[in-house]
Chains A and B, each alone.
Chain A
């Protein structure tokens, strides 16, 4: 086997936060190389480096034994490196035909001939997309078909190294098998394939070699089949950081009446008959792979979505016609800490003080006076309690570190003294110390009787903080776990829906 790409001591940091540290890795031609790791392990950074989207801070990348620096995806493509990023590879307003043609690197100004279109058709058929019309708009295709088009587009460029990022996440088992056949054929023709998937059985089925990443470091590379699933998960998870999390506190008794309940919540684009209950003093976790409907449940409860079926009950009374404005109103008292603090949680150019008072603007005296109303006093108390590190409340919020920004978002909502707090991935991209502070805070708040729903992509958070966990898969709650049932392995297995038939559609 010949090595196609060689990483030596490659590092990448974003604003001082390491994403990839001292990684050395060899990718061989004619092999399917699986990359395993939990969210934030450095898999996507690795791919972006290879695709020419970002450049490393240190170390060298050799292609065919020659050191290369690629500045743009064009440079990477010129060397035969083609990357299929989830949701990022297709132009939605263009037809399937145009999407595939644009990637093939043909002459810009010459009119397209029939032969080129036939080649597009052949590429699409080869991945099992013969049912997809070339003139359909990508934006109108179902997710699964879009993924097939993405794969076809990557293959259409005749890559020497094909990088597939969760390429099969939306495909049913039957379609996955067709795609795997293509991958094996490409491999046998000498193409190298970097395969990133959360589905263990897919890695068992197609990988020749497996590399495990954890916290931005390359942990180990081994031949597929030499480790069992438990060993691989063990390598991914590593040693649990026990001191990061406060000691567990028992939740309220099951006999306590729920503060907020949902029954049969459905939404056409991603929720399927979801039931949930959250009691005062309880921390509920929403787990599962990314984008399985957890976020939609949060949005549905906070009244962001239109046309949600099912019922919400607050204090045993039905709660209808929720909008964000009504959700935060006194008497309902729900607060939502959104997923993306930079766009949804904060107005970056406004001052810290202004951001802190935004959620309370509609409360008396409607923000008309600067006088220290009850909300302002609460804000002052909260900045202290949350240990927000700031020079002045008049500084723009964007000068704060990510962790402190998140604390501002939390404080902004806690100032309204909510009874139910919805948190969407609150510790994403935050340093460990602040994480630990936020965890302790959440537990204290629960102790004071707040009902908390925590959605997280970090399953350690769910395991250590939550009293109960709902695991989502394709818009449904596939499992509810509590107490001793909650282990990393069980959670991952549930997230992958390993115990049920994933082939059904």
Chain B
């Protein structure tokens, strides 16, 4: 007899990350052809620096989305850590090193607070991170009402230029991705993050400490937001309390483009980073296109919509109307 109640896809599926990478390559080629300075170290460095910044924000968002949450405080956490950096990143080498550590602690602490509100307070992630995000923005404004501050230039120069023509930002991103990917794929902790997003019930039945792991996911989100905050400081050499807002929504857009499922359990930091670079490349493309400025948002939106639609082609295979809207 035929096997019933069984869905067998059988077909070879192209990994989602490959689709994102190809899309990025096409967009990047486009960008290089219309960018007046062409393919040069200068262009590459600017592109990589901007990309790394959003990639860090996207990785912050990735960890929270992975456990079926969402973090609306990514932008505020970036602003707060950027402001903190503008107070802490100057002086001797030792002082700067301590400053970096403190900024990371601030970010991780914010993430942990988000996690506590969600796990212990049982507040829906969208509400908890919106409220706490406002709080972080407020603290950033109190710490530095107007942009300013002092950032160590040696560190900035080391991280924002290039090494033998290769942008430092790309090298840093590669190191970060490797350092994140190994424990994520090869430790029980990393697998637990995927497990909770995939099926909370099954995770509980499997004996995973769901509350603790969820908390850790939010804390990791805060940690990567602090890295983004630090990197903004490197790029701008100031602390700006109003820098956050665009990063929250762009980080969500980046993870979606990069193939991270908002329903949890699917995706990778590499995908999130690719999504961030795709988003940045689209903006850069618009900047150098000869499109009238007022038409640019329309085309940026259209390209974004197509990119996201490519990722949800699977919907066409849904066989029951009840599943389509889940």
Binding site for B on A (CB under 8 A): 51, 53, 72-74, 77, 83, 85, 88-94, 98-99, 101-103, 105-112, 140, 142-144, 153, 170, 267-272, 291-293, 299, 303-307, 323-324, 344, 474-476, 504-505
Q: Would you list 18 pairs from A and B whose C-beta atoms are within 8 A, ordered by A residue?
A: A91-B195, A93-B197, A102-B208, A107-B188, A110-B187, A111-B182, A144-B3, A268-B7, A269-B4, A269-B319, A272-B1, A293-B4, A299-B320, A306-B319, A307-B319, A323-B321, A474-B5, A505-B1
Q: In angstroms, how far is the closest chain B Cβ from the Cβ of A291?
A: 7
Q: In angstroms, how far is the closest chain B Cβ from the Cβ of A424?
A: 12
Q: In angstroms, how far is the closest chain A Cβ from the Cβ of B4?
A: 3
Interface positions of B from 176 to 226, Cβ below 8 Å from A: 182-183, 186-189, 191-192, 194-195, 197-199, 201-209
Most chain B CB within 10 A, of A73, A91, A170, is at A91
Contact B194 A93 (CB under 8 A): yes
Contact B321 A324 (CB under 8 A): yes
Contact B187 A102 (CB under 8 A): no
Contact B206 A103 (CB under 8 A): yes
Inter-chain contacts of A108 with B (CB < 8 A): 187-189, 192
Contact A306 B3 (CB under 8 A): no
Inter-chain contacts of B203 with A (CB < 8 A): 91, 102
Contact A92 B198 (CB under 8 A): yes
Contact B199 A91 (CB under 8 A): yes
| Chain A residue at minimal CB-CB distance from B8 | A142
Report the Cα distance A292→B5, complex, angstroms: 8
| Chain A residue at minimal CB-CB distance from B194 | A94
Instruction: Indicate which residue in B6, B197, B206, B266 contacts A102 across the interface (CB closer than 8 Å).
Output: B206
Inter-chain contacts of A271 with B (CB < 8 A): 4
Q: In angstroms, how far is the closest chain B Cβ from the Cβ of A335?
A: 17
Does B133 sit at the interface, judged by CB under 8 A?
no
Report the Cα distance A272→B207, complex, angstroms: 38
| Chain A residue at minimal CB-CB distance from B267 | A93
Does B9 sit at the interface, judged by CB under 8 A?
yes
Does B259 sit at the interface, judged by CB under 8 A?
no
Inter-chain contacts of B192 with A (CB < 8 A): 102, 108
Knowing A91-B199, A108-B192, A475-B5, say if A306 contacts B318 (CB, 8 Å): yes
Inter-chain contacts of B182 with A (CB < 8 A): 111
Interface positions of B from 275 to 326, Cβ below 8 Å from A: 318-322
Report the Cα distance A505→B4, complex, angstroms: 10
Most chain A CB within 10 A, of B206, B208, B320, B322, is at B206
Inter-chain contacts of A323 with B (CB < 8 A): 321
Report the Cα distance A144→B7, complex, angstroms: 11
Knowing A91-B198, A91-B199, A103-B206, say if A474 contacts B4 (CB, 8 Å): yes
Q: In angstroms, how far is the closest chain A Cβ from the Cβ of B282?
A: 28
| Chain A residue at minimal CB-CB distance from B212 | A108
Inter-chain contacts of B195 with A (CB < 8 A): 91, 94, 98, 102
Q: In angstroms, how far is the closest chain B Cβ from the Cβ of A162?
A: 14
Inter-chain contacts of A92 with B (CB < 8 A): 198-199, 265
Q: In angstroms, how far is the closest chain B Cβ from the Cβ of A306?
A: 5
Report the Cα distance A323→B322, complex, angstroms: 12
Does B2 sit at the interface, judged by CB under 8 A?
yes
In the A-B complex, list the 5 residue pairs whose CB atoms are closest, starting with the nearest. Answer: A475-B4, A91-B198, A93-B198, A93-B265, A108-B189
Inter-chain contacts of A107 with B (CB < 8 A): 188
Report the Cα distance A291→B5, complex, angstroms: 8
Interface positions of B from 39 to 69, Cβ below 8 Å from A: none
Instruction: Indicate which residue in A88, A93, A94, A110 contacts B205 across the interface (CB closer than 8 Å).
Output: A88
Contact B187 A88 (CB under 8 A): no
Report the Cα distance A112→B209, complex, angstroms: 18
| Chain A residue at minimal CB-CB distance from B200 | A91
Interface positions of B from 1 to 23, Cβ below 8 Å from A: 1-9
Contact B205 A83 (CB under 8 A): yes
Instruction: Indicate which residue in A144, A267, A303 contacts B319 across the interface (CB closer than 8 Å).
Output: A267
Contact A109 B207 (CB under 8 A): no
Instruction: Indicate which residue in B2, B202, B318 contacts A88 across the interface (CB closer than 8 Å).
Output: B202
Q: In angstroms, how far is the closest chain B Cβ from the Cβ of A309?
A: 12
Inter-chain contacts of B183 with A (CB < 8 A): 109, 111
Contact A306 B321 (CB under 8 A): yes
Q: In angstroms, how far is the closest chain A Cβ from the Cβ of B14?
A: 14
Contact A143 B5 (CB under 8 A): yes
Inter-chain contacts of A51 with B (CB < 8 A): 205
| Chain B residue at minimal CB-CB distance from A138 | B198
Inter-chain contacts of B266 with A (CB < 8 A): 93
Inter-chain contacts of B7 with A (CB < 8 A): 268-269
Q: In angstroms, how far is the closest chain A Cβ from the Cβ of B274?
A: 19
Contact B198 A94 (CB under 8 A): yes
Inter-chain contacts of A504 with B (CB < 8 A): 1
Inter-chain contacts of A85 with B (CB < 8 A): 205
| Chain A residue at minimal CB-CB distance from B265 | A93
Q: A102-B188, A270-B5, A293-B4 are in contact. List 16 more A-B contacts (CB 8 A).
A: A73-B205, A74-B207, A88-B201, A89-B205, A89-B206, A92-B199, A101-B188, A102-B206, A109-B189, A111-B186, A269-B4, A270-B4, A291-B5, A293-B5, A306-B321, A474-B4
Q: In angstroms, how far is the closest chain A Cβ from the Cβ of B201?
A: 6
| Chain B residue at minimal CB-CB distance from A146 | B6
Contact A72 B188 (CB under 8 A): no
Inter-chain contacts of A292 with B (CB < 8 A): 5
Knowing A85-B205, A140-B9, A269-B319, say if A101 contacts B1 (CB, 8 Å): no
Q: In angstroms, how far is the closest chain A Cβ from the Cβ of B112?
A: 17
Q: In angstroms, how far is the closest chain B Cβ from the Cβ of A196?
A: 16
Report the Cα distance A99→B195, complex, angstroms: 8
Report the Cα distance A305→B186, complex, angstroms: 40
| Chain B residue at minimal CB-CB distance from A338 | B322
Inter-chain contacts of B202 with A (CB < 8 A): 88-91
Contact B204 A72 (CB under 8 A): yes
| Chain A residue at minimal CB-CB distance from B13 | A140
Report the Cα distance A375→B202, complex, angstroms: 45
| Chain A residue at minimal CB-CB distance from B266 | A93
Inter-chain contacts of B188 with A (CB < 8 A): 101-102, 106-110, 112
Report the Cα distance A292→B6, complex, angstroms: 11
Most chain B CB within 10 A, of A102, A109, A268, is at A102
Q: In angstroms, how far is the closest chain A Cβ from the Cβ of B91?
A: 34
Inter-chain contacts of A303 with B (CB < 8 A): 321
Report the Cα distance A170→B9, complex, angstroms: 18
Report the Cα distance A53→B207, complex, angstroms: 11
Knowing A72-B204, A93-B265, A475-B5, say if A304 contacts B191 (CB, 8 Å): no
Knowing A102-B191, A109-B183, A270-B4, say if A305 contacts B319 (CB, 8 Å): yes
Q: In angstroms, how far is the closest chain B Cβ from the Cβ of A141?
A: 9
Contact A272 B320 (CB under 8 A): no
| Chain B residue at minimal CB-CB distance from A87 | B202
Inter-chain contacts of B319 with A (CB < 8 A): 267-269, 305-307
Report the Cα distance A142→B319, complex, angstroms: 17
Report the Cα distance A474→B198, complex, angstroms: 27
